[in-house]
Amino acid sequence: MTFSKAIINWYSTNARKLPWRESTDPYLIWVSEIIMQQTRIEQGLAYYLRFIEAFPNLPSLSKAKEDEVLKLWEGLGYYSRARNMMFAAKQVEEIYNGVFPNQYHDIVKLKGIGPYTAAAISSFAFGLPYAVVDGNVLRVLSRYYGIHIPINSHQGKKLFSKLAQENLNHKDPATYNQAIMEFGSLQCKPANPNCAICPLSTSCIALSSNSISILPKKEKKLKVLNKYLHFFIIQKNDQFLIEKRDNKGIWKSLYQLPLIETKQDEGLETVFKTTEFIDIIGGENFQLRSIQETNHKLTHRNLFIRFYQLEVSEFAKHSYLQVNMSDLQSLAFPRPIEKYLEAFKQQ
33 is catalytic: yes
Q: Please state the three-class secondary structure of the chain as a single string.
A: CCHHHHHHHHHHHHCCCCHHHHCCCHHHHHHHHHHHCCCCHHHHHHHHHHHHHHCCCHHHHHCCCHHHHHHHHCCCCCCHHHHHHHHHHHHHHHHCCCCCCCCHHHHCCCCCCCHHHHHHHHHHHHCCCCCCCCHHHHHHHHHHCCCCCCCCCHHHHHHHHHHHHHHCCCCCHHHHHHHHHHHHHHCCCCCCCCHHHCCCCCCCHHHHCCCHHHCCCCCCCCCCEEEEEEEEEEEECCEEEEEECCCCCCCCCCEECCEEEECCCCCHHHHHCCHHHHHHHCCCCEEEEEEEEEEEECCCEEEEEEEEEEEECCCCCCCCEEEEHHHHHHCCCCHHHHHHHHHHHHC
Q: Determine the Cα–Cα distance for residues 259 and 231; give it in Å rounded to an integer.
A: 5
Q: Determine the Cα–Cα distance for residues 36 and 32; give it in Å rounded to an integer.
A: 6
From 22, 33, 182, 338, the catalytic residue: 33
Terminal CA-to-CA distance of the chain, rounded, Å?
Answer: 61
Q: Determine the Cα–Cα distance for residues 120 and 114; give it in Å rounded to an integer.
A: 10
Residues labelled as active-site residues:
33
